[in-house]
């Protein structure tokens, strides 16, 4: 009998969770999304939002299992896959982060997070060359993300002057770019 009401109950929980998430009340949102997963352990939105919350709170290790579950349940979900790439990079798994970034870029060539992870994980000449080719295809060349990725590649190649120039261009586009300031420092 309780199964008959699972749909409307799930909807109400999801609406509350999303409202808390939108308001930035992540603790209440986490509780609601976890309640939703108790009702439906295949709810992609709940897994995604929990992963996003953990990333927002600076807890990539906690985000990884939730975002990995989204990858499993919804392989075409590029925002979650890009966040997974960032989380994997943050927890010291650059090979897995690179794979997630490559798949994300294949699905969404304009994903700034993925292009950044791809650049940051380029270590070999082949990887650097492949990333440079991806950057040539990147449609948003007038963004800070593009110039930060180019700076990362320049640094990987040992060209600190070019890296600095790219970071200056990134800051000219977005003076509040935390990543550009951090890397420049």
User: Which tens digit of pLDDT belongs to each residue from 10-33?
Assistant: 999 999 999 999 999 999 999 999
For the residues 71-95, what does the mean pLDDT come to? 96
pLDDT at 2: 38
pLDDT computed for residue 180 by the predictor: 85
Show Cβ contacts of residue 74 under 8 Å, excluding neighbours closer than 6 positions. 44, 80
Could you state, in order of their start, the residue ranges of all structural domains in the chain?
140-185
Question: Would you state the pLDDT for residue 177?
Answer: 87
Most confident option among 54-63, 105-114, 155-164:
54-63
Specify the pLDDT at position 6.
57
The average pLDDT across 107-128 equals: 94
Short-list 85, 79, 84, CA closest to 110: 79
Q: What is the pTM of this model?
A: 0.87
**183 or 143, which is more confident:** 143
- Give phi and psi for 59, each to the nearest 5: -120, 65
The whole-number pLDDT of residue 8 equals 84
Indicate whether 1 pLDDT > 70. Answer: no
For residues 155-172, give the mean pLDDT: 92
CA nearest neighbour of 55 among 68, 40, 43, 42: 68
């Amino acid at each position: 009998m309780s199964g008959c009401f699972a749909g409307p109950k799930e909807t109400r929980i999801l609406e509350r969770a999303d409202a808390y998430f939108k308001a930035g009340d992540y603790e209440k949102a986490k509780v609601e999304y976890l309640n939703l997963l108790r009702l439906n352990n295949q709810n992609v939105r709940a897994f995604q939002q929990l992963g996003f919350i953990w990333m927002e709170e600076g807890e990539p290790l906690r985000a990884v299992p939730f975002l990995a579950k989204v990858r499993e349940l919804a392989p075409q979900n590029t925002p979650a896959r890009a966040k997974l790439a960032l989380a994997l990079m943050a927890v010291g798994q650059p090979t897995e982060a690179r794979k997630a970034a490559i798949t994300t870029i294949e699905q969404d060539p304009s994903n700034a997070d993925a292009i950044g992870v791809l650049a940051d994980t380029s270590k070999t000449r082949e990887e650097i060359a492949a990333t440079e080719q991806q950057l040539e295809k990147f449609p948003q060349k007038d963004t800070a993300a593009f110039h930060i990725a180019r700076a990362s590649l320049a640094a990987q190649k040992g060209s600190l002057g070019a890296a600095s120039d790219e970071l200056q261009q990134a800051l000219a586009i977005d003076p509040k770019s935390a990543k550009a300031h951090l890397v420049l420092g």
